[in-house]
């Protein structure tokens, strides 16, 4: 605590300091998800102003079914800070969260001439061959389609076999594809009488159309090349797709706000990642606001950027008089952050000081490498103060 208190006093000598309240994000030690993305509400408890709006924020993609990943607190903090801009974010709880994903439904063997076991189709759950096909397809949607919605449009000429009831019949479904996406598709149904389960009574080729729904980001008004997108420039809409989409679409407004348009974008256009480029929030030579965070406090001061960088990147910063070079993370326009909670061995550039010599370095090591960088800047300022 003495080290943190001393550090606060040192940084306060650089410029007028300001301590603020914060949105508190308490990271859980472990969590379990069932879909293809990990949202903030899945891995953390959020308190403070605007916390409700953060619940559905996508933090990262989920691991494969039955597997897990380690989600670092710093990654969560950066994701929340990217949304809140200059607002404060205080992390608490675990240093990382072990995120597990439940095992995906067991796919039955598929392919030409290969039959799926009747139990895998969940025959009898909804009563008809049509319901069995719907369940079969929904369990095999491509990962990009999961989380939106899907419906199947059948050919009216197949109505007679589709209405067969499982009270009398048992169904095996065969597909030529392991996954379904938007567009035309077909499955072959082998139909058995329950009283004679080893004898195929009939077979039918059922054609249908898969229509997928997804929330996508749409350009709200005409934009020119070089425009920096704001929240008013885009909106989230649910769209239906009848054919496979070529390439990726932007699915979260937060992934578009703050980016720069590569070319002119017409209103109503579905936004794609290649339409955007990262926006340089800090330019070399800028006077930047620096937030120093640690031990339950936040200190605000002003330094000069030695490098340019977009949101989330690490840039070199030093005191305006040229002293105390250190590295900080860009969190907004002309705004960077130095976290004093970064652990040894994380390999973060932000924790690396520009110089480590003399008694000042030895004293700062007790508080960590990040302390060393800021203390160097503060000591240089003190020597110049009469």
Domain ranges of the chain: 21-101, 105-277, 280-384
Per-residue model confidence (pLDDT) at position 103: 66
**d(C-alpha 26, C-alpha 118), whole Å:** 46
d(CA 77, CA 88): 10
Domain pair 21-101 / 105-277, same fold = no
**What contacts 24+ positions apart, CB below 8 Å, involve 272-278?**
272/247, 272/248, 273/248, 274/247, 275/250, 276/229, 276/250, 278/310, 278/311
Going 101 to 103 to 105 to 107, the CA torsion angle's sign is positive
Strand partners, 288: 303
For the CA atoms of 8, 13, 16, 17, the dihedral, rounded to the nearest 10 degrees, stands at 0
The encoded tokens of residue 223 equal 């934009």
* Distance (Å, whole) CA 265 – CA 340: 41
* Distance separating alpha carbons of residues 71 and 66, to the nearest angstrom: 16
**CA torsion, ordered 322, 328, 330, 331, to nearest 10 deg:** -120
8 Å CB contact between 27 and 92: yes
| CATH class of the domain whose range is 21-101 | mainly beta
Distances (CA, A) of 309 to 15, 284, 356, 360: 23, 8, 25, 29
Q: Which CATH architecture is the domain 280-384 placed in?
A: Roll (2.30)
Beta bridge partners of 17: none
Residue by residue, pLDDT tens for the chain (386 residues) are 444 444 444 444 443 334 344 688 899 999 988 877 788 889 999 887 767 777 778 888 777 777 788 888 888 888 887 777 656 788 889 989 999 887 644 333 333 333 333 322 233 335 899 999 998 988 888 766 655 678 899 999 999 999 999 889 999 999 988 888 899 999 999 999 988 888 899 999 999 999 988 889 999 999 999 998 998 999 999 888 999 888 889 988 888 988 899 999 999 999 999 999 888 889 999 999 999 888 778 888 899 999 999 888 899 999 888 888 889 999 888 999 988 764 433 334 443 443 343 333 333 333 344 444 455 544 544 444 44
* pLDDT for the residue numbered 210: 93
Nearest to 68 by CA among 45, 41, 93, 43: 43
The per-residue DSSP string of 314-327 comes to: EEEEE-TTS---EE
Q: Are 102 and 128 in contact (CB under 8 A)?
A: no
Pick the CATH number of 105-277 from 3.40.50.720, 3.40.50.300, 2.30.30.140, 3.90.1210.10: 3.90.1210.10
The CA distance from 165 to 167, in Å, is 5
| pLDDT of the residue at 207 | 94
- Cβ proximity of 248 and 279 under 8 Å: no
């Amino acid at each position: 605590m003495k080290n943190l208190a001393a550090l606060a006093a040192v940084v306060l000598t650089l410029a007028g300091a300001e301590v603020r309240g914060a949105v508190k994000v308490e990271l859980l030690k472990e969590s379990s998800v069932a879909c293809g993305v990990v949202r903030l509400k899945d891995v953390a408890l959020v308190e403070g102003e605007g916390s409700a709006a953060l619940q559905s924020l996508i933090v990262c993609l989920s691991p494969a079914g039955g597997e897990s990943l380690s989600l670092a607190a710093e990654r969560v903090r950066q994701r929340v800070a990217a949304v809140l801009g200059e607002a404060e974010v205080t992390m608490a709880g675990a240093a990382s969260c072990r995120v597990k994903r439940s095992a995906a439904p067991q796919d039955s063997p598929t392919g030409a001439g290969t039959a799926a076991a009747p139990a895998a189709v969940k025959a009898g759950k909804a009563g008809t061959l049509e319901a069995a096909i719907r369940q079969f397809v929904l369990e095999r949607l491509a990962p990009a389609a999961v989380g939106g919605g899907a419906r199947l449009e059948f050919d009216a000429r197949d109505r007679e076999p589709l209405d067969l009831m499982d009270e009398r019949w048992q169904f095996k479904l065969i597909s030529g594809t392991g996954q379904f996406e938007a567009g035309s598709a077909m499955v072959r149904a082998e139909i058995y009488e329950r009283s004679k389960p080893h004898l195929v009574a009939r077979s039918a080729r059922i054609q249908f159309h898969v229509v997928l729904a997804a929330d996508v980001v749409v350009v709200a008004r005409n934009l020119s090349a070089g425009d920096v997108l704001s929240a008013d420039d885009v909106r989230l809409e649910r769209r239906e797709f009848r054919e496979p989409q070529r390439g990726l679409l932007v699915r979260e407004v937060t992934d578009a706000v703050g980016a720069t348009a590569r070319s002119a974008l017409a209103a109503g256009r579905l936004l794609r990642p290649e339409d955007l480029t990262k926006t340089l929030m800090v330019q070399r030579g800028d006077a930047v606001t620096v937030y120093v965070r640690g031990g339950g406090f936040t200190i605000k001061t002003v330094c000069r950027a030695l490098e340019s960088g977009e949101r989330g990147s690490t840039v070199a910063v030093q005191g305006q008089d040229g002293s105390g070079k250190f590295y900080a993370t860009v969190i907004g326009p002309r705004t960077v952050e130095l976290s004093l909670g970064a652990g040894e061995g994380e390999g973060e550039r932000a924790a690396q000081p520009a110089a480590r010599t003399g008694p000042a370095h030895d004293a700062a090591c007790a508080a960590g490498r990040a302390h060393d960088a800021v203390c160097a800047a503060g000591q240089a300022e003190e020597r110049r103060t009469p």
